[in-house]
Amino acid sequence: MDKRAVAVLFGGRSSEHSISSATAGGVLRAIDRDRFRVIPVGITRAGAFVLEDDDPDKFALDPANMPVVADNGTRILWPEAAGASVLRVRRADGTVEDLGAIDAVLPILHGPHGEDGTIQGFFDTLELPYAGGGVLDSALCMDKHFMKIALQAAGVPVAPWITLRRAQWTQDVAAIAAQAAHLTLPWFVKPARAGSSVGVSKVHNIDELAAALDVAFAEDDKVLLEEGLHGREIEVGVLEGRGTDAARASLPGEIVLTTREFYDFEGKYLGGDGVDVVCPADMSAAEIAAVQEMALRAFEAVDGRGLARVDFFLTPHGLPVVNELNTMPGFTPISMFPKCWIASGVSYSELISELIDTALERA
């Protein structure tokens, strides 16, 4: 069987550049080389597409030395639409090399310019098949404000919130607090368009609000102030159905906080103490069915494609409340999304193949 050529695309211009690069290390190590010919394409922090080394160790997740895509002088030349899907690279000396026809792109990008519909629209324009979310669901779920609106319209419960713009933040804490008076403390202040808990703060009292807003507005000019819900933190993976099959949900996992205030960047990626990732979660059959059904409803509400991780708060009354959807969730071998599917009987390598096969079938 001829191998399908897959460009694994990672890095990017967002604050989650290193997490995307670390994900690439796991994917490059686990992808089925008997089925796929891999072309690693990195995006530098400045936005240059470069041909990278096919070396998983180069992009290992090391908290002391997070991986990055450096500008090595090469430039990827993408195929033109309505033509042969041939990928080329211009070397640093100016020579151009043909890398062969490309069958699909696996974009493992997080944040703006990668998870927000922009790169998806680029590949749609080039008529290149790609794995993961499409333009609409990527754009909706990247912006937590509009994601909540879409979920509410579909009857999916979300945490109460208000949305703030940078122009409203004049260091008048009292005015912001008055707007949020109907929301019970503690609050979470988060950038509308960032992930991996970058720029997120937990606010216990009004005195902490100004610093939290400064941190969030440093990431984005739109910020959510959200009521902190009490309940178990549950996450469910969703995969798009193949052919005429419906989308399916994984077994749920749980984030168990011990001494950490919330599941922040350090706890997710840097080995910080105070948090345990448990998968599968210890839940009753009824609770599992409830979060899986709600995850599929949320996926449908945003016109989901490819995959998503749906994050919940499971309230003491057993009601699942959606916190957010991630259309390209953390995908390192230790991330929750792969863990949930491994617990459901799908290996990490099989999961990668599933995403690529779904993209090829969709095309």
Same domain for 199 and 327?
no
Domain tally for the chain? Answer: 3
pTM for the whole structure:
0.90
pLDDT tens-digit readout, 38-51: 999 999 999 999 99
Q: Give yes or no: residues 171 and 108 share one domain.
A: no
pLDDT at 261: 58
Dihedral, 113, 116, 345, 7 alpha carbons, nearest 10: -40
User: For position 195, what pLDDT does the model report?
Assistant: 64
One domain, residues 207 and 253: no
Q: Please indicate, yes or no, if residue 123 is contained in any of the structural domains.
A: yes
| Mean pLDDT, residues 151-164 taken together | 97
Residues 174 and 145 in one domain: no
Average pLDDT over residues 77-95: 92
**What pLDDT is attached to residue 267?**
47
pLDDT at position 298: 98
Structure tokens at 261: 């205030």
What is the pLDDT at residue 119? 97
Beta strand 222-227 pairing with 187-191: antiparallel
Residue 357 placed within a domain: yes
Once rounded to an integer, what is the mean pLDDT over residues 175-183?
A: 94
- 358 and 239 both lie in a single domain: yes
CATH code of the domain in which 211 resides: 3.30.1490.20
**Residue 135 is assigned to a structural domain of this protein:** no
Verify that 220 and 236 share a domain, yes or no.
no
In a domain? residue 177: yes
Query: What is the share, in percent, of the chain residues with pLDDT greater than 90?
Result: 81
User: What is the per-residue pLDDT across 302-356, written as a single tens digit (0 to 9) for each?
Assistant: 999 999 999 999 998 889 999 999 999 988 888 999 999 999 999 999 999 999 9
What CATH number corresponds to the domain at position 108?
3.40.50.20
Average pLDDT (65-69) is 93
Instruction: For residue range 266-303, list pLDDT tens digits in order.
Output: 545 545 556 788 999 999 999 999 999 999 999 999 99
What pLDDT does 274 receive?
Answer: 67
**Last residue of some domain: 208, 227, 246?**
227
- Are residues 194 and 63 part of one domain? no
What per-residue confidence (pLDDT) applies to 333? 83
The predicted pLDDT at position 196 comes to 59
Same domain, 240 and 223: no
Residue of 104, 108, 105 whose CA lies nearest to 21: 108
Half-sphere exposure of 164 (CA within 13 A, CB side): 31
Q: Based on the domain organization, do 125 and 175 belong to the same domain?
A: no
Average pLDDT of the chain, as a whole number: 92
Of 227, 251, 274, which marks where a domain is finished?
227
The pLDDT of residue 2 is 85
| pLDDT at residue number 263 | 52
- Of 227, 255, 283, the position where a domain reaches its end is 227
- pLDDT, one tens digit per residue, over 205-228 is 999 999 999 999 998 999 999 999
Q: 103 and 183 share a domain?
A: no
Instruction: Judge whether residue 265 has pLDDT over 90.
Output: no
pLDDT at 60: 87
Q: How confident is the model at residue 194 (pLDDT cuts 50, 70, 90)?
A: confident
> Does residue 248 lie within any of the structural domains?
yes
**Which three-class secondary structure string do you get for the chain?**
CCCEEEEEEEECCCCCHHHHHHHHHHHHHHCCCCCEEEEEEEECCCCCEEECCCCHHHHCCCCCCCCCCCCCCCEEECCCCCCCCEEEEECCCCCEEEEEECCEEEECCCCCCCCCCHHHHHHHHHCCCECCCCHHHHHHHHCHHHHHHHHHHCCCCECCEEEEEHHHCCCCHHHHHHHCCCCCCCEEEEECCCCCCCCCEEECCHHHHHHHHHHHHCCCCEEEEEECCCCEEEEEEEECCCCCCCCEECCCEEEEECCCCCCCHHHHHCCCCCEEEECCCCCCHHHHHHHHHHHHHHHHHCCCCCEEEEEEEECCCCCEEEEEEECCCCCCCCCHHHHHHHHCCCCHHHHHHHHHHHHHHHC
Q: Are residues 281 and 150 in the same domain?
A: yes
Task: Classify residue 73: in a domain, yes or no.
Answer: yes
- If asked whether residues 115 and 218 sit together in one domain, one would say no
Q: Provide the domain limits for residue 35.
A: 4-130
pLDDT tens digits, one per residue of 4-46: 999 999 999 998 899 999 999 999 999 999 999 999 999 999 9
